[in-house]
């Protein structure tokens, strides 16, 4: 049966942008599972699946529904063990938690504030009100104030990618010769930025940019199927 992936969108339903939904989409594709993206807006999340969830991604697989990209990856790994592994063993599963936290602090810590205005602009009016209120509460200041200065911080952000950049001189993917969920954790975040904003996060000659292009090529170009923001 086709798995449903509730996938965050703004006004344009063909452009899912949530980093966490992208992680789940890449994970489903990695497993070779049939899935369809169900577009859902911020203010619609509470209405899906009888109101059980407050965040996406959520997947519905037959009788079961799961929330949270890492939980979804764990579920897929356990439920479909005969398909390509997302972790390649228990060590990969545990270490992926470190990658997740690195990505959350290092990548989302810079990219999140930097994209606020472009995310806001991409939303429907009702979602814009929710987004502004919730994010201004989270950051303790206006969207405009929080988003300011991304150009000045860009060099520092690029420098903070050094672990990934250095690793890529040893291997093609975080997963080694091929991608694992750890790659999707990081690529999902770059895809979020790619779909939302033309801001040049990565220098074109950065090995991290080449790695992300490889990720966009995976699974018949799943990531590339949504054009980059112009």
Q: For binding to a copy of itself (CB under 8 A), which residues are involved?
A: 85, 87-102, 104-106, 162-164, 166-167, 170-171, 173-176, 180, 182
Q: Which is nearer to a copy of itself, 156 or 221 (CB)?
A: 156
Q: Which is nearer to a copy of itself, 39 or 207 (CB)?
A: 207
Helix runs in the chain, H state only: 19-30, 69-79, 90-102, 109-122, 125-139, 143-147, 150-160, 162-167, 181-196, 207-221
H helix or E strand, kind and range, residue 63: none
Least spacing, CB of residue 93 vs a copy of itself, in Å: 7
Q: Which is nearer to a copy of itself, 55 or 172 (CB)?
A: 172
CB of 33 to a copy of itself, least distance (A): 19
Nearest residue (CB) to a copy of itself, 1 versus 159: 159
Minimal distance in Å, beta carbon 112 to a copy of itself? 14
- In whole angstroms, how close is the CB of 203 to a copy of itself at the nearest point? 18
What SS3 state is found at 61?
strand
- Supply 153's token pair: 């911080």
- Among 51, 63, 52, 90, residue whose Cα is nearest residue 74: 90
């Amino acid at each position: 049966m086709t798995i449903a992936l509730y996938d965050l969108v703004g006004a344009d339903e063909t452009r899912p942008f949530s980093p966490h939904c992208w992680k789940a989409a890449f994970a489903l594709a990695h497993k070779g599972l049939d899935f369809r993206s169900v577009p859902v807006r911020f203010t619609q999340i509470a209405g899906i699946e009888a109101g059980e969830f407050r965040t996406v991604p959520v997947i519905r697989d037959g009788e079961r529904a799961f929330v949270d990209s890492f939980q979804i990856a764990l579920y897929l790994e356990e439920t479909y063990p005969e398909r390509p592994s997302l972790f390649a063993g228990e060590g990969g599963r545990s270490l992926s938690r470190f990658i997740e936290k690195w990505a959350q602090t290092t990548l989302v810590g810079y990219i999140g504030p930097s994209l606020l205005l472009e995310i806001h602009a991409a939303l429907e009016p009702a979602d814009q009100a929710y987004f502004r209120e919730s994010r201004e509460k989270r950051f303790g200041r206006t969207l405009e104030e929080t988003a300011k200065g991304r150009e000045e911080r860009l060099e520092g952000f690029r420098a903070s990618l050094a672990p990934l950049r250095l690793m890529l001189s040893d291997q093609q993917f975080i997963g080694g010769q091929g991608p694992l969920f750890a790659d999707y954790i990081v690529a999902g975040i770059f895809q979020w930025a790619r779909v939302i904003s033309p801001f040049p996060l990565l220098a074109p000659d950065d090995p991290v940019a080449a790695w992300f292009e490889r990720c966009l090529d995976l699974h018949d170009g799943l990531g590339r199927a949504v054009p980059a923001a112009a």
